[in-house]
Amino acid sequence: MTKIAAIIGGGVIGGGWAARFALSGWDVTIFDPDPQAERKMNEVLANARRSLPALSEVALPLEGQITFAPTIAEAVSNADWIQESAPERLEMKHSILHDIQTHCRADALIGSSTSGFKPSELQQGAQRPAQIFVAHPFNPVYLLPLIELVGDDATTTRAHDMLTDIGMKPLKVRKEIDAHIADRFLEAVWREALWLIKDGIATTEEIDDAIRFGFGLRWGQMGLFETYRVAGGEAGMAHFIVQFGPCLQWPWTKLMDVPELTDELVTMIADQSDAQSGAHSIRELERIRDDNLVSMMRSLKGRDWGAGALLNEHDARLSAQAAPDFTKPIISVARAIPIDWTDYNGHMNESRYGQVWSDAADALMNMIGADADYIKSGLSYFTVDTHTKFLDECHAGDAITVVTHILEGTGKKLRLFHEMKNASGDVVATCNQFLLHVSLETRKSCDPAPHVAEKMATIIAAQAALPKPENT
């Protein structure tokens, strides 16, 4: 049964929430009084459709239906999850939350994207206080997985499970506190950055360089304490604290002091920021950001570390499905083309076609029982020969499927024909692939195990009535 999310407030954060839910298969209803809301939302969705699927090695669920409601009442009436993303004004949030609770189901989850207010503040005067909780995301919501959850334990436990199911990393904050966890770090860095600019020590670009070429890379995959544990060497964290702890008493920071945001300082920061990034529109900057995040997070997938490990877990959930019906064409690959698969010509590099054919063959091997356990037993298939034909281009964000035909599958020989199709069903590339079954001990060809040969024969028989591919 399709779940329904209601998004109240369709700005940058609300749009990101809508995209994350919709691309995870939820139907989404949006309320925003801004007459430009639908245009802005569609622009955010276009970026999300291009980037989020590229994080996965498998196809995302079928995109949910997105509709705009004229009132909060109509938006929330059937929703399972309601996300309030209004401006950070407590009186406004109280009014909106009252309207939501008046018209929503008693069992609906009501999350607030607030970056600073505590649940107890949001719940003042609420009909059902425990229903309202903090679900604080990070921009872009459709790519960055962290969500800080603060509120009633039973409510946030339900929210935790739903967010995990759509590939996010919910973090339940143990006690409510102003600005939760992550924004307290960001506020500290922001204060220091303002002083560095005001005192003429660094520009906006130089401060960004210090982060993106230095500790930002370390934090992106290890965080704070694991980074400092490594810095402590063999003696570990205790040694690091002993060595660097005294620095905390030195007058390095101005964390308890904030420069006055005079017109002069605001203009200085704005001018430096324009010089740094003004050559790009906001949509161009969003795409640059998204492409960089996708590439970094995909790199971490290969190491099964940090955000990459989370993505691998979510891919495994998406891949879990019923056994295929072999009387129908075999879909061996269904995915989107990630940005890091493209080259200087702006389309998918030819080396990545080889990866797609390899993934397709691996999928077929799993179907016949030549899976990871089979390989551990010392038997596998080796590719001997491939012939690829490039018929059309593939670009970043394109959805592709591969239909795999078994042309020969008796004894040691396995000959496959793969057709890569785009979202319109047009064939964009084909591959004729020949594999031999081998012993990993002798590295020589041999017959497959009986259960693999039997499964192969069963699949070939089931496929016999299907039309044969052309130009094999």
State mean pLDDT over 327-340: 94
pLDDT(285) > 90:
no
CB 364 within 8 A of CB 332: yes
CB 187 within 8 A of CB 258: no
Task: Please state the domain count of the chain.
Answer: 3
Q: Are 46 and 176 members of one domain?
A: yes
Q: Can you give the pLDDT at residue 248?
A: 66
Q: Which of 219-233, 335-349, 369-383, 418-432 has the lowest mean pLDDT?
A: 219-233
Q: Can you give the pLDDT at residue 202?
A: 96
Nearest of 295, 332, 416, 361 to residue 59 by alpha carbon: 332
Nearest of 186, 161, 187 to residue 172 by alpha carbon: 161
What range defines the domain where residue 211 resides? 183-279
Q: Can you give the pLDDT at residue 134?
A: 98
Q: Which of 164-168, 214-218, 345-349 has the lowest mean pLDDT?
A: 214-218
364: tokens are: 């077929």
Average pLDDT, the chain: 93
Q: Can you give the pLDDT at residue 194?
A: 93
DSSP 54: G
Q: Can you give the pLDDT at residue 236?
A: 78
| Per-residue model confidence as pLDDT tens digits over 247-270 | 666 766 777 777 887 889 888 888
Say if 420 falls within a structural domain: yes
Q: Are 15 and 130 members of one domain?
A: yes
Q: How far is CA 76 from CA 72, 134, 155, 455, in A?
A: 6, 18, 18, 50
CA 257 – CA 164 distance, rounded (Å) = 39
Say if 441 falls within a structural domain: yes
Q: What is the CATH number of the domain that holds 373?
A: 3.10.129.10
pTM of this prediction? Answer: 0.83
The residue from 149, 180, 211 where one domain ends is 180
pLDDT(19) > 90:
yes
CA 340 – CA 352 distance, rounded (Å) = 10
Q: Are 13 and 162 members of one domain?
A: yes
pLDDT(242) > 80:
no
CA 301 – CA 297 distance, rounded (Å) = 6
**Which amino acid, one-letter code, is at 96?**
I
Q: Answer whether the bond into residue 140 is a cis peptide, omega within 30°.
A: yes
Q: Can you give the pLDDT at residue 243?
A: 78
| Per-residue model confidence as pLDDT tens digits over 85-138 | 999 999 999 999 999 999 999 999 999 999 989 999 999 999 999 999 999 999
Say if 10 falls within a structural domain: yes
Say if 364 falls within a structural domain: yes
450: tokens are: 């009986």
| Per-residue model confidence as pLDDT tens digits over 392-451 | 999 999 999 999 999 999 999 999 999 999 999 999 999 999 999 999 999 999 999 999
pLDDT(331) > 80:
yes
Q: Can you give the pLDDT at residue 7?
A: 98
CA 223 – CA 94 distance, rounded (Å) = 35
